[in-house]
């Protein structure tokens, strides 16, 4: 490492990372990017790369950018006076931009489709299906997966299923059920139970 510690070196030290090679392996970022940071080329590095580095160093994206920008001017390590509103604003803006890019075709085409349906109620609903692909991609990126498929007949699972009709049946003895509305999980977290009815 450089004999004169840079802010990046100090942040690495705080995270118990000793070399660029180690940082590269933990962040999955090529070492070249760290030398670019060293030489004040922060503007040449994609935001996604900086975000990976920040995550590995266990600091916020906005704080890392502030530290590195500060180094390019005063060459002094700034005190940890985090502006939380700035942190949140940057993260929210980045999140919104990424989401808009994924949903771009849906945002641009759905209003035209709705206009067409309003003026032609007989327009086949199947023409809407391709427009929903960006939404499916967004759910996939966020690791949100459906619980079952509409029409599936499955064993009743009270952890994943919400019985739609009132029933005096013992929940331990409910027969198979049919999925009416899918539920969702994000990784291991349950977001919505699938709505089911007893399959007679």
Give the residue extent of every domain in the chain: 7-83, 145-200
- Collapsing DSSP states into helix, strand and coil, what is residue 108? helix
Q: What pLDDT, on the 0 to 100 scale, is given for residue 4?
A: 44
Could you report the per-residue pLDDT of 52-100, keeping only the tens digit for each?
898 899 888 777 887 777 655 544 444 444 454 555 566 666 777 777 7
At 102, list the tokens. Answer: 């994924």
In CATH, what is the architecture of 7-83? Orthogonal Bundle (1.10)
In CATH, what is the architecture of 145-200? Roll (2.30)
Could you report the per-residue pLDDT of 116-144, keeping only the tens digit for each?
778 887 878 777 778 888 888 888 888 88
| Among 23-32, 64-73, 160-169, 172-181, the least confident range | 64-73
User: Of 76 and 10, which is predicted with more confidence?
Assistant: 10
For 142, phi then psi, to 5°, come to -85, 5
Q: What pLDDT, on the 0 to 100 scale, is given for residue 3?
A: 41
CA dist 27 and 50 (Å) reads 10
User: If phi over 0 gives left and psi between -120 and 50 gives alpha, with beta otherwise, what is residue 23?
Assistant: alpha
């Amino acid at each position: 490492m450089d004999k004169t510690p840079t802010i990046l070196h100090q942040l690495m030290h705080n995270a118990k990372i000793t070399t660029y090679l180690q940082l590269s392996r933990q962040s999955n970022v090529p070492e070249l990017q760290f030398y670019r940071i060293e030489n004040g080329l922060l503007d040449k590095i994609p935001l996604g790369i900086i975000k990976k580095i920040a995550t590995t160093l266990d600091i916020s994206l906005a704080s890392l950018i502030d530290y590195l920008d500060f180094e390019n001017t005063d060459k002094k390590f700034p005190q940890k006076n985090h502006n939380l509103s700035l942190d949140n604003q940057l993260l929210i803006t980045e999140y919104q931009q990424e989401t808009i890019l994924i949903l771009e075709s849906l945002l641009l085409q759905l209003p035209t489709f709705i206009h067409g349906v309003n003026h032609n109620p007989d327009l086949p609903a199947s023409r809407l299906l391709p427009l929903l692909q960006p939404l499916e991609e967004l759910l996939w990126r966020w690791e949100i997966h459906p619980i079952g498929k509409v029409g599936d007949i499955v064993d009743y699972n009270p952890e994943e299923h919400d019985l739609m009709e009132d029933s005096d049946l013992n929940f331990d003895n409910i027969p198979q059920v049919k999925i009416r509305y899918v539920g969702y999980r994000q990784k291991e977290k349950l977001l919505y139970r699938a709505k089911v009815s007893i399959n007679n």
